[in-house]
Structures are given as structure tokens and as C-alpha cells.
Structure 1
Amino acid sequence: MLILQRRKGQSLSINNNIKLTIVDTGADWVKLAIDAPKEIPILRTELVEAAAENQEASRTVSREVLDKILKQR
């Protein structure tokens, strides 16, 4: 892991096609502006983790339970 220090208004570049700019900071938060190509997905880590948990949970649900859920729709 690379750790860099930047101040408000400063930027850093990743792979010549992604630019991160520090927009604002607080005591325990940072606001970032991300300039990247549209085809590069940018997701908050908690959403990626939640999606992985949902996929794992869907693998453990029985076929009978899934059929019941679909019939309720």
C-alpha cells in the first residue's frame, strides 16, 4: 500500500488516465474529486463488500426459498 500526503486542492495521477483531487477535508473525513474514464467503475468499498455478501448469501439459499420469493412477486 502506498500512502501519500496531499493538501486541499492538490491532486495525484494514477496511470495517466485517473486524477484524484482533494476537494475538502475535515477532522475525520476527506472529500475527493475523481476524474476517470467512464468505463472504469468507481465504488465505495462498503458497497463492494455488501455486494459480495449478497452474492454469498444467494448461494446458500435453497431452491424452494427462491421459488417462494419469486411467487410472491
Structure 2
Amino acid sequence: MLVITRKKGESILIGDDIEITVIKVEDGGVKISINAPKEVTILRKELYKAVEEENQIAANYDLKVIKDIRKK
């Protein structure tokens, strides 16, 4: 893991085509911009984790229950 300090207006580069720039620094938060190719997926980690958890629940769901619901 790389930990660096950046100030407003400063950037970091990831590879040749991803740039992350600090836009605003506020109490308890930082606003950043991400410039990346369209084919690069960018997700907030908390949303990714929530979807992952929902998928896990769905994968473990009893198919019999689903079939019973469809009959009603």
C-alpha cells in the first residue's frame, strides 16, 4: 500500500492513463476527481461491498422458497 500526502490541486498518476486529483479538502473529507478511460470501472468501495453482500445472500437463497413464491 502506498500512502502519500497531496494538497488541493495536486494529483497522482496510476499507470499512464489514470489521474486522481485533489479538488477540495474539508473537515473530515476530501473531494477528488478521477480521470480514466471509459473502459475502466470506478466504484465506491461501500457500494461494491453492499452489492457483493447482496449477491452472496442471493446465491445462498433457497431455490425452494423462490419456487413457492412463484406459485402464489
TM-score, normalised to structure 2, is 0.89
Cα distance between partner residues in 1 of 2:4 and 2:62:
47
Q: Which runs of 5+ in 2 are unaligned?
A: none
TM-score, normalised to structure 1, is 0.88
Q: Percent identity?
A: 35
Cα distance between partner residues in 1 of 2:16 and 2:44:
22
Post-superposition, which runs of at least 4 consecutive aligned residues in structure 1 deviate over 2 A?
A: 64-67
Cα distance between partner residues in 1 of 2:10 and 2:71:
54
Cα distance between partner residues in 1 of 2:10 and 2:57:
41
| 2:24 counterpart SS class | strand
Taking only aligned residues, the RMSD between alpha carbons, in angstroms, comes to 1.5
Cα distance between partner residues in 2 of 1:47 and 1:25:
23
Cα distance between partner residues in 2 of 1:29 and 1:66:
43
Q: What is the total number of aligned residue pairs between the two structures?
A: 71
